[in-house]
Every structure is written in C-alpha cells, then in structure tokens.
Amino acid sequence: MDEQAYYFEDYQLGDTRTTGGKTITEADIVIHAGQTGDFFPHHVDADWCEKHDFGQRIAHGTLTFSVGVGLTASFINPVAFSYGYDHLRFVKPVYIGDTIHTVVTISDKKDHKKHADKGIVTEHLEIINQKGETVMVADHLLMCQKRDA
Amino acid sequence: MDEQAYYFEDYQLGDTRTTGGKTITEADIVIHAGQTGDFFPHHVDADWCEKHDFGQRIAHGTLTFSVGVGLTASFINPVAFSYGYDHLRFVKPVYIGDTIHTVVTISDKKDHKKHADKGIVTEHLEIINQKGETVMVADHLLMCQKRDA
Amino acid sequence: MDEQAYYFEDYQLGDTRTTGGKTITEADIVIHAGQTGDFFPHHVDADWCEKHDFGQRIAHGTLTFSVGVGLTASFINPVAFSYGYDHLRFVKPVYIGDTIHTVVTISDKKDHKKHADKGIVTEHLEIINQKGETVMVADHLLMCQKRDA
Amino acid sequence: MDEQAYYFEDYQLGDTRTTGGKTITEADIVIHAGQTGDFFPHHVDADWCEKHDFGQRIAHGTLTFSVGVGLTASFINPVAFSYGYDHLRFVKPVYIGDTIHTVVTISDKKDHKKHADKGIVTEHLEIINQKGETVMVADHLLMCQKRDA
Amino acid sequence: MDEQAYYFEDYQLGDTRTTGGKTITEADIVIHAGQTGDFFPHHVDADWCEKHDFGQRIAHGTLTFSVGVGLTASFINPVAFSYGYDHLRFVKPVYIGDTIHTVVTISDKKDHKKHADKGIVTEHLEIINQKGETVMVADHLLMCQKRDA
Amino acid sequence: MDEQAYYFEDYQLGDTRTTGGKTITEADIVIHAGQTGDFFPHHVDADWCEKHDFGQRIAHGTLTFSVGVGLTASFINPVAFSYGYDHLRFVKPVYIGDTIHTVVTISDKKDHKKHADKGIVTEHLEIINQKGETVMVADHLLMCQKRDA
C-alpha cells in the first residue's frame, strides 16, 4: 500500500473520486452477523423476511457502512487521521447480490479551532448500488496537518 | 429473538442499558479486513505498527463500530426503525485483546417534523473498554411510531 | 447479555420457549466444513450430490446441532451449567436455504443422586425447519442449584 | 475422499482408531460464536472470564463436539449412515490453545429391531486433549447394512 | 491423519490418484478475497463482470490452486517434503458453482544432484471441473528420501 | 480499484515495486485450512509441531503464495492477463506472526511465438518476511498486448 503525504492544502473542495465496487453476497451477511452478533431476522432469517414487507434479507447497516468505507482505503496519508463520521444515513436497503461502490467528494474544509497547524477536511461519502441509487451517505472527518505549519 | 413493540412514548430520557462484552481478537481484525478490503497496515501489518507511534495493530474504526452496535441487538421492535447515526467519534484506539461493551442512553426525543404519528428517539452509544475508557461514541437515530397515533 | 439466576425450582415441566430463526446458507456449510475439516461430499461437492439420492448438498449434522443450540443462548444463568446431551437424532436433512429455529420444552426434572442441593433439568430441543418439520431433536441436560439448598 | 463399503459385519467390537489432532484456536472460537450466534461471555468476553472461576475463555461445547466429530471424517461408507448420538458429555473445559483428537472405539453392535437386513453399530468417541485428558465423550450411532442381507 | 513413510522408490512413474471434489462457492471467493486482499472486480464485483467478456465472477487463480492442492492432502509422508511447483497454468476459468477435483500423476523421478540419498519426484496435478475440463495444471516437486540410503 | 492500460512496451526490465505487508496470523492459517481442507498437522496441530523439528505451526505454502500474490493486486490492467507461474519455490517457513510483503521485478520480456501483437512479461516475485529473508519466490507470467499492434 502506497504512502503519500496529502496535506490540508492538497484537498480541494469539490474534488471527487470513485472506488471500485463490491457485491454484497449472502456470505458477507453471514460473516457480518457472525462478527457482530447481530442476528436480527432481517439479516439471517429468509423465512421471516418473506413474511414481512421487505420480502428478503437485507444487509446490516454496519456492513454496508464498513464495506463502503473499506472501499475507500487506497493509500496511507501519514499527515491525516480519521476521527469520526457525521450524518450517516441509511437511504435504501442493500439486498443480497447488490453491488456497491463509493463516491468521495471533498465537501468542506475548515481550520482547526485550537491548533493553527491543522485543519478539518470533510469527505462526503455516497455509497451507490448497481442501479445508480444512493443507499447510504456519511460525512467523514479527517484531521489534516497543514503543509506550511 | 423476541419481538416487542416499544413506542415513542416508551422511551424515557435518561434510560440506560448496558450490553454484554466482546473481546476484539486478532481474528476479528483479520476477518474485518477481509470483509471490507481495508488492508491498511495499522490493522494487518504488525511489523509496520511496531515501527510507528502506536506500536501495535489497532481495530478498524468500522469494526469497533460494527461490534459496538451489534452488541445492542437484543429484541425486535416492530414499531421503530434505525435510520442513521450522528456524531460518531473515534475516541481511543482499540487493541487486540481489548474487551468492549456498549452503554445505551436515551439522550433525546422529538416529534417528527412532517409526520404527526412519529417521533425521533436518539440513543447515545458509548463503547467502553475493559479499563472503563470510552473508545467510541455515536448517536443512534430511531424513527418510532407513537402509541396513540 | 443479561444474567439471571434461574433455579431448579424455577423450571416448570412443560414450559416451552421458541427461539428466533436462522437460515442455513451455503456459506454456513462452507464455514462449518472449514471449521471441522469434514469435507464429506454430502456437504461440499454439489456435483457428487446430484448423482446421489438426496440430489443436493445437506448441512452437516454438527452444523444443524450447533446452530440449533446456539439459537437458544439467550441469558446467562449463573446457577446452572450444561453438562451434556442425550438422544440427539437427525430426523430430516437440512438443505441450503432452509431456515431453522428451536423449540425448547422442559421435559424432565429430577434430584441429583449425590448432591442434595442440586437437580437435573432436561430441556427437550426440537429443531424445526420453515415447513414446520422437525429436523433434529436432542435432550439437553442442565445441572441446576436448588434455591433453598 | 475414498469410498469404501464397510458392512455391519466388518465392524468388530473393541476395534479402535485414533484421528489426527487440531488445536482449538481463539480464531476457532470467534468463528464458532459467529456461526452459531452463541455470544455467551464464557466464549467471547475475556474480561468477564477473568473475573469468574474458570479465569479464561473456553470453547463452546458445540465447537468441541463439531471438531471432535469432524476429525473422524475419513472415508465414505456408502452402506452406513449416521442417525444420532447418545450420552454426549462435557467432561472438561477446552481452552484456547488446547489440541484435541478423537479416539473411536466400536462399543456395541445389535440387530435392527424391524429391519433384518440392518444393524446398529455404536462408535464410542473420546475427545482427548494434549495432556491425555478426556474432554468430551459421546456414542455415535450408525445404521449399517448387513453384507449378506 | 495417517502417517506413512513413502520413499523415493515407492513412487512409480505413471501412478495416479484422484481426489474428492469440492464445489467452489461464492462464499469461497468472498473468503479468499478477504484472506488475500485481492479485490479485483473479476472476483468481487458481479456488476462489473456482467459488463465484461466473461460475464460473471471467476475464482481467483490462487483459490483454485489452493483448493486443488488442498484436496491432495491425504496422508503425512515423513520422508518427503514439498519444495515447490513448476509450470502452474490457468487453463480455464472456474465459476461460482463449479466443482473441482484433482488428478495426481507421478510424471518424473530423478536423483538429487548433490545428495545421493535423495531424489526428486514430480507429481503432475490436473485440476478438473464437473464437465471433465482441465482448469489448471501444475507440477509439484517433492524431495524424497531413498529407502536404502 | 483503478484501471490503467499497461502495454508490453510499458514494462521495463529491472523495474521493481514493493507491496505493503501483511502479518500471517493464526487466524489466517485456520481460515486457510478451512478453505482448502488441508488439515496437515504442520498447520493445525500445535502439539504435534512441538514434538517435531520445526517446533511450531507453519503457514501452508498455498497460503503464503496466495497472500504474497494478493498483495500485488493494485490496479486493473485491461490489456494483460495472468496465465501462470513458473519456478514457485518454498525457501523458508512462515510462522505465525511473521509479516510478509512482496517485491515484484520485471525479469523477462519476450515476443509471443504465435501472436505478433502480444508478448510475455515475467514478473519475478520475492515474498520477504520482517527479517528481510526471502520465504518464497515465483515467476509470474503475463500475456500483454503490444501498444502498436
């Protein structure tokens, strides 16, 4: 995995990148249920789902989020670190066999209130399925060093 | 898994519940890297970690979040659904062998702006390690039906 | 996970509880084969199965048993412990896509022969598929403390 | 995997075979908890275990059973099928890092009550750890065709 | 797992053995992508595959190789060890649901150039799908002790 | 995952790239044994290993190979495809906790014998542990289109 210093000044508002895609398989849901202990029938009980509105098993929100975020892991930036997410919203269900990818847009930049040598960069994530529908959004918060600080 | 209708009125500000715990093992990190494709060296390269500040592998933020949320999956509430998270923050790293649990507190309730028969309940999640340190926080947003609506 | 002391006297003959369901997926069989090393073609070779009577892959007996028992894990009883199973029987095959749940019935209670402060409770397990057919049965033996001992 | 017809008459009382061994790793317990949904703290919460009598995480009984049985899967016998287990007993806990193997002894043979062309063979399984201690026993029931039937 | 000394002299040119089969499932590909970090869309992105020539996801070459070789693991030979492979070729794609097995043929034997007490045995592996098509070949190199050395 | 056309002419003899690293964990070996069915005691039986020369469990050769190759999966080259490996050699054992990375060197280029518009590029892979020791080598064969063909 490549390492590349990418400073606060290097992020440009409106810059965008698109990740590769990953199909959310039944196996992914089984493994995620196992990892989290979330055995809600919405995810692990096909029979129960058939008898309810959505009709079929859906991916855990945390699975869609984890994969959608994981797809953005491309290079190591030693002068930034992730400190959180805001406004994470489940927009549409993800079904077995759906393929998701993530579009990352630099949506905000601001100085850090206390540390003059740092800034906050917001990456807006849209997780999108194979039909072009947005299934989840979130704002990723990066604390970045300033180049000339 | 039990099903129990829990309406907007049933959630009381300040109510709290504590989940069981789960140890974040090396296997969990390996499986999560595999599920998400996030092979950042912070998670999968012990040698690289030794040569950097934090000294050892740390759990993916999405892993801590997924497990911390999964631990809260206890009963099915047919009159509520999860629609997102706000203010998710990584407070402290989670290392291999740390045991986390989650404390859920009802921190906010408000009417839905458009739908008189619904309200928004905020569950504040604190994910806490075996030393009693908070490692992650997030606000979980539940859309709930009102009982008398 | 909640902890609740449930004594010998608290178990009532005929009491019954029904667990949530879980679909036995192809992924479950793959993972179980991997965990146990049981690569019998009945479980891992779809081509071989097509050429034999049952026509398709079936779940390992130990998988059905493990999941059927796992579904009953609901609360911690600090005054009882599991010491075994009797009369475990494979009644019908479980195919990929079948959804199983477990019905637990208190079928027997008796004093412990040597320890006056303990008793043996038998939980009869019926593992049932989405058609209502019993696919496996077993008698679970619990050693329980007596309340007034 | 080899196929070999092994008839009722071919099983000799007292015949014994010893399987290879497998170390029960932390990963095995994590995967088994995930497969079964059994997140009892005895298996997944190292911190809780430290504060209780046994001091450390132990393997699920169903894990020890599944691996102990899986290790016996060596050749396909087209003239026999497994129909259950009796007298499954958890004799000692299995800890992370313990290595188990299984000793199979033909302990009983009897005619089938209704079908003259079949018999029941009992394989007594002893699952043994690296110290030579028996950790689990069970009687495996095989329905076998008679050769001359 | 049985242990059996099989010396250089015991391998006969032209000897052949056929392993059991294993179906390559979607879960296998998901797990292999996770284990290796190889998230090429050929393996994990069903939508991308539909838009390209081969039309559907294919197994990683390393997965087919690993399973094809794993199927040959039958008994422990304490007087031989594997030191490599030559001429590994991907002949045909393996799709989800294909069942593969391996045919092993002793294709070469020669003395070790430096060690008079050892020889090199070549096992030619053909990995074959359910249609009888060879999907991969490789030459496995075994360093074997001579019996009378 | 980025897509970038990289033609025969673009590969320069002696060009080299170094991948990120991955620690081979106990979990990786457990998962690989499960995926391949290779339960040789060298990989899954810590007790057996202690009683033999190498003293501890070692990674499957196919695991080291799969991870070492997987680490090289960085961008999609639509004008090349992998068709095999030559001279794969297991140079040193990989133990639990070792961290491997891969160095890829363009070691050979030649015209395709039959197709004037194609050439064969050889990538020499060295898989190296955290001590700088080469643990495995292999020559990867790429069939590449020529730019001006």
Helix axes A26-36, B26-36, angle to 10 degrees: 150
As a whole number of angstroms, the distance between CA C81 and CA A127 comes to 46
Closest-CA residue of chain E to A20: E41
Is residue C2 pLDDT above 90, yes or no?
no
Q: Kindly report, residue by residue over F121-138, the tens digit of the pLDDT.
A: 999 999 999 999 999 999
- Residues β-bridged to residue C76: C3
Query: Counting beta carbons within 10 angstroms of the beta carbon of residue C114, is it exposed (0 to 12), middle (13 to 18) or buried (19 or more)?
Result: exposed
- Residues β-bridged to residue E83: none
Query: Across the interface, which of A1, A62, A82 has its CB nearest the CB of B69?
Result: A62
Q: Is the Cβ pair E27, A23 closer than 8 Å?
A: no
Say if strands F99-111 and F118-128 run parallel, antiparallel, or are unpaired: antiparallel
Q: With contacts defined as CB-CB under 8 Å, which chain B residues touch D48?
A: 20-21, 99
Closest-CA residue of chain C to E131: C47
Is residue A72 pLDDT above 90, yes or no?
yes
DSSP A35: H
Give me the pLDDT at residue D84, please. 97
As a whole number of angstroms, the distance between CA B23 and CA B63 comes to 12
Q: Kindly report, residue by residue over C97-110, the tens digit of the pLDDT.
A: 999 999 999 999 99
Query: Which helix (DSSP H) or strand (DSSP E) does residue A28 occupy?
Result: helix A26-36
Which residues have C-beta within 8 Å of that of residue D50, sequence separation ≥ 6?
D56
**Residues A45 and C21 sit within 8 Å (Cβ to Cβ):** yes
- Picking from D20, E25, A61, F139, the residue whose alpha carbon sits closest to that of residue B72 is A61
Give me the pLDDT at residue E69, please. 97
- Picking from F56, F41, F50, F69, the residue whose alpha carbon sits closest to that of residue F97 is F56
Give me the pLDDT at residue F46, please. 97
Is residue C120 pLDDT above 80, yes or no?
yes
Q: Kindly report, residue by residue over D69-100, the tens digit of the pLDDT.
A: 999 988 889 999 999 999 999 999 999 999 99
As a whole number of angstroms, the distance between CA C81 and CA C73 comes to 12
Q: Kindly report, residue by residue over D25-68, the tens digit of the pLDDT.
A: 999 999 999 999 999 999 999 999 999 988 999 999 999 999 99
Give me the pLDDT at residue C149, please. 63
DSSP D21-65: -EE--HHHHHHHHHHH----HHHH-HHHHHTSTT-S-B--HHHHH
Average pLDDT, chain C: 95
Give me the pLDDT at residue D54, please. 83
Q: Is the Cβ pair E28, C30 closer than 8 Å?
A: yes
Query: Counting beta carbons within 10 angstroms of the beta carbon of residue F14, is it exposed (0 to 12), middle (13 to 18) or buried (19 or more)?
Result: exposed
Is residue C25 pLDDT above 80, yes or no?
yes
Provide the H-helix boundaries in chain E.
26-36, 41-44, 46-50, 61-70
Q: Kindly report, residue by residue over F63-75, the tens digit of the pLDDT.
A: 999 999 999 988 8
Q: With contacts defined as CB-CB under 8 Å, which chain A residues touch C26?
A: 26-27
Amino acid at F119: G
DSSP B60-117: -HHHHHHHHHHTT--SB-TTEEEEEEEEEEE-S--BTT-EEEEEEEEEEEEE-SS-TT
Q: What is the distance in angstroms between the Cα of B121 and the nearest Cα belonging to chain D?
A: 28
Q: Kindly report, residue by residue over B56-112, the tens digit of the pLDDT.
A: 999 999 999 999 999 998 888 999 999 999 999 999 999 999 999 999 999 999 999
Instruction: Tally Cβ neighbours within 10 Å of residue F48.
Output: 22
- Residues β-bridged to residue D17: D104
Q: Which domains does chain A have, with CATH numbers?
A: 7-145 (3.10.129.10)
Interface size D-E, in CB pairs within 8 Å, comes to 4
Is residue B20 pLDDT above 90, yes or no?
yes
The three state secondary structure string of chain F is CCECCCCHHHCCCCCEEECCCEECCHHHHHHHHHHHCCCCHHHHCHHHHHCCCCCCCECCHHHHHHHHHHCCCCCECCCEEEEEEEEEEECCCCECCCEEEEEEEEEEEEECCCCCCEEEEEEEEEEECCCCCEEEEEEEEEEEECCCC
**Residues B7 and B145 sit within 8 Å (Cβ to Cβ):** yes
Distances (CA, A) of C98 to A49, C29, C129: 13, 12, 6
Is residue D149 pLDDT above 80, yes or no?
no
Q: What is the mean pLDDT of residues E79-92?
A: 96
**Residues F112 and F81 sit within 8 Å (Cβ to Cβ):** no
Q: With contacts defined as CB-CB under 8 Å, which chain F residues touch B45?
A: 20-23, 99
Query: Which chains does chain F touch, 3 or more C-beta pairs < 8 A?
Result: A, B, C, D, E
Which residues have C-beta within 8 Å of that of residue F33, sequence separation ≥ 6?
C34, C37, F39, F43, F44, F60
Q: Kindly report, residue by residue over A88-101, the tens digit of the pLDDT.
A: 999 999 999 999 99
Query: Across the interface, which of C25, C27, C46 has its CB nearest the CB of E99?
Result: C46
Q: With contacts defined as CB-CB under 8 Å, which chain E residues touch A22?
A: 39, 44-45
Question: Which percentage of chain C shows pLDDT scores above 70?
Answer: 99
DSSP C56-112: S-B--HHHHHHHHHHTT--SB-TTEEEEEEEEEEE-S--BTT-EEEEEEEEEEEEE-
As a whole number of angstroms, the distance between CA E69 and CA D138 comes to 33
Tell me how far the alpha carbon of residue E23 is from its chain's centroid: 15
As a whole number of angstroms, the distance between CA A111 and CA A147 comes to 13
Query: Which helix (DSSP H) or strand (DSSP E) does residue A86 occupy?
Result: strand A80-90
**Residues D146 and D120 sit within 8 Å (Cβ to Cβ):** no
**φ/ψ of residue D122, rounded to 5:** -105, 125
Query: Which helix (DSSP H) or strand (DSSP E) does residue C29 occupy?
Result: helix C26-36
Which residues have C-beta within 8 Å of that of residue C116, sequence separation ≥ 6?
C146, C149
Closest-CA residue of chain D to B28: D30
Q: Kindly report, residue by residue over F78-97, the tens digit of the pLDDT.
A: 999 999 999 999 999 999 99
Query: Across the interface, which of D60, D71, D82 has its CB nearest the CB of C61?
Result: D82
Q: Kindly report, residue by residue over C74-105, the tens digit of the pLDDT.
A: 888 999 999 999 999 999 999 999 999 999 99
As a whole number of angstroms, the distance between CA F112 and CA B2 comes to 65
Amino acid at E126: E
Instruction: Read off the pLDDT band of F76 (50, 70, 90).
Output: confident
Question: Which percentage of chain C shows pLDDT scores above 90?
Answer: 92
Average pLDDT, chain A: 95
Is residue B119 pLDDT above 80, yes or no?
yes
- Picking from C18, C11, C5, the residue whose alpha carbon sits closest to that of residue C104 is C18
Q: Is the Cβ pair F35, C35 closer than 8 Å?
A: no
Q: With contacts defined as CB-CB under 8 Å, which chain D residues touch C82?
A: 61, 90
CA atoms within 13 A on the CB side of A136: 29
Is residue E149 pLDDT above 80, yes or no?
no
Q: What is the distance in angstroms between the Cα of E14 and the nearest Cα belonging to chain F?
A: 23
Q: What is the mean pLDDT of residues C129-146?
A: 97
Give me the pLDDT at residue C9, please. 95
Q: Kindly report, residue by residue over E8-44, the tens digit of the pLDDT.
A: 999 999 999 999 999 999 999 999 999 999 999 999 9
Q: Could you tell me the sign of the dihedral formed by the alpha carbons of A72, A76, A80, A81, in that order?
A: positive
Distances (CA, A) of B51 to A100, B55, D42, F22: 35, 7, 35, 14
As a whole number of angstroms, the distance between CA D80 and CA C37 comes to 20
Instruction: Read off the pLDDT band of A149 (50, 70, 90).
Output: low
Give me the pLDDT at residue A2, please. 80
Q: What is the mean pLDDT of residues C43-58?
A: 94
- Residues β-bridged to residue B88: A85
ipTM at complex level:
0.96
DSSP D79-96: TEEEEEEEEEEE-S--BT
Whose structure tokens read 């794993």? E70
Give me the pLDDT at residue C92, please. 97
Average pLDDT, chain F: 95
Give me the pLDDT at residue F149, please. 63
Q: With contacts defined as CB-CB under 8 Å, which chain A residues touch C99?
A: 45-48
Q: What is the mean pLDDT of residues B11-33?
A: 97
As a whole number of angstroms, the distance between CA F19 and CA D46 comes to 35
- Residues β-bridged to residue B105: B16, B124
b/e per residue A42-73 (b: at least 16 CB within 10 A): bbbbbbbbeeeeeeebbbbbbbbbbbbbbbbb
What six digits make up the tokens of E94?
């393996």
Q: Is the Cβ pair B45, F20 closer than 8 Å?
A: yes
Q: Kindly report, residue by residue over F96-113, the tens digit of the pLDDT.
A: 999 999 999 999 999 999
Is residue B33 pLDDT above 80, yes or no?
yes
Give me the pLDDT at residue A148, please. 76
Instruction: Tally Cβ neighbours within 10 Å of residue B5.
Output: 12
Q: Could you tell me the sign of the dihedral formed by the alpha carbons of D110, D111, D114, D115, in that order?
A: positive
